[in-house]
Chain A
């Protein structure tokens, strides 16, 4: 059983207009076997949270902590975090020229496990995982993400999730840009990985659609860099009906957060 704990996280980025604070004190605890959905309107800081956990250099942590079973994640380099068991399925996977998928997958697996996978099993595992995600076999010969469509890139992210077996998976809007069929395929992949029982999932999404296929245990609503409401799966249903409008109206995010906190107390 592992715990990923985020406490009072403050994150800013440098822009041309100066420093801009994006996360304004986020706290979240995810345990093995749990699925947490983070929902919120565009620009609320959902993706910033994902990238910050993975260690993207663009985001400066100005306060708070992230720990993995008590270990300071913020002190780790990007690759150390991955080797510690954190996996970010990216919203916009980049194309990496000159590196074949085969080579990339094997190199990453070796780095994460600390030893090269047994060639026979590995090849079989990759083939099987690709078939389940309906990725053409010839993708292994192509360069990482090069010339892949948006949907193909997302499937390849989930392929990696299934192969690398992380302790915590952070899915950054993996559902956006997918048609229903692709969404099902991708969701099945996440559910398979989750069913193995050794993974906690942080599912970041703008839409409730994916929650029909991946059932969250907890739902957190993000507005303006803060969690303004938390609840169980029923909160997602409510968002489905009402949208985010009610958070945008009224006196602003802070007061909603306060009201939500008061309501919970």
Chain B
């Protein structure tokens, strides 16, 4: 495979911030940042100020300095110049960043095995805000506008074998807001599938709480109709020894922007963030994830794989991993792989790794964008394999790595079929 490798590392912080004590180009001696007040699980020091970002001593360019707030007014109107919006075509957000989100929210239908508690609550419920604070304007806009939330609770020690299916059906193109809370209480085990279908223009906040020793898998599947716009902030907070697997699968929709994050509150927890996306002509599929290693001895592993085909198919993957000073013993790896199938498609890939302590098990990142080119095709066809089958072989093989990790047989079959459909639909 012809590999065009784009790797950008940001270890430590830029040297252009001389006002910060103790910075060196190598990013060592960064203690002033985290020594005092960033024990908060939800965000950096800025969370406490509830306003204009960049807590004391935190450079704007560090992920720790990102503004977080429940108030829409704290976020400036978007210009498209912001680091976290620079790849997103704002015009196609259909007002998610500018309008009051008063449209009908997508309908939520939860099918859960016995023992799982499903509630619809109003916005004053005390569980709201327990795992997340909006990190961008679109997320804050949803927070400001949602009227009721779905809360799914897996009781302590419950071992739920069948997946909890959350069917989310769009109700049209009026800009809307949605809020979902998923809590797996301590020592429980469950799989939740957020299954997005139909037509929607929606900004969504999903709060995920993984209790001590709990094992939770959340799969967010975007099979929207082509006219849909979906921004989804899915923030997880992990307890001690918790295991969390998050899988993004984005196939349908005009613009889908997923911002999953995982934050550790106690030692021994593990997260696995996986993603699969397949962009066709004109689609914009964006994923920006954040793993915040703020406590010692936690693990994270990130793998996103994407295929692109058709004119102006655009995918964006930005992976921010932050290892704070106190997160000794961290073990983390993140990777993104893209396979460009035709001319005219564009894959942006930016892995960011910030390391503030050297006392870690391991930290790595990788990104590669390859092209399925005429030589691959020729090789396979010269062995009697038709062009259509050749293309399918390559893409199926490439994306299967993620599908196989889902471990929900019915869903794996469905996704394999969906990938085949993607290939058939736009096979030139």
* A108/B384 in contact, CB under 8 A: yes
The reply to whether B393 and A104 contact each other, CB–CB distance below 8 Å, is yes
> Closest approach, in angstroms, between the C-beta of A177 and any C-beta of chain B?
18
A72 within 8 A of B: no
Whether B85 is near chain A, meaning CB under 8 Å from some CB there, is: no
With known contacts A57-B374, A82-B381, A98–B394 Cβ distance under 8 A: yes
**8 Å CB contacts to A: which residues of B387-428?**
387, 389, 393-400
B375 at interface, CB cutoff 8 A? yes
Among A56, A98, A100, the residue within 8 A (CB) of B378 is A56
Q: Considering the complex, give the chain A residue whose CB is closest to the CB of B377.
A: A78
Residues of B at the A interface (CB closer than 8 Å) are: 1, 339, 370, 372, 374-376, 378-387, 389, 393-400
**Contact assessment for B384 and A96 in the assembled complex, using a CB-CB cutoff below 8 Å:** no
Tell me if B376 and A111 are in contact (CB < 8 A): no
Determine whether the beta carbon of B383 is less than 8 Å from that of A96. no
Residue of A77, A93, A94 ringed by the most chain B CB atoms within 10 A: A94
Assess whether B397 is in contact with A79, with CB atoms less than 8 Å apart. Answer: no
Chain A contacts with B in 127-154, Cβ cutoff 8 A: 143-144
Size category, A interface:
20 to 34
- Any chain B CB within 8 A of the CB of A54? yes
Q: Is the CB of A143 within 8 A of B397?
A: yes
The answer to whether B382 touches A82 (Cβ under 8 A) is yes
**Measuring CB to CB, which residues of chain A are less than 8 angstroms from any residue of chain B?**
54-57, 77-79, 81-83, 87-88, 90, 93-100, 103-104, 107-108, 111-112, 143-144, 160, 164
Nearest to B376 among chain A residues (CB) is: A96
Q: Are A79 and B394 in contact (CB under 8 A)?
A: no
The chain B residue with its CB closest to the CB of A92 is: B375
Q: Which residues of A contact B376 (CB under 8 A)?
A: 94, 96-97
Report the nearest A residue to B399, measured CB to CB.
A98
Within the complex, what minimum Cβ distance (angstroms) separates A173 from chain B? 16
> Which residue from B370, B378, B385 sits with its C-beta under 8 Å from A107?
B385
Closest chain A residue to B386 by CB distance?
Answer: A79
Told that A57-B378, A82-B382, A160-B383 touch, could you supply 18 new A-B pairs with CB distance under 8 A? A77-B381, A78-B378, A78-B382, A79-B381, A82-B385, A87-B382, A90-B382, A96-B379, A97-B370, A97-B372, A98-B397, A98-B399, A98-B400, A108-B384, A111-B384, A111-B385, A164-B383, A164-B384
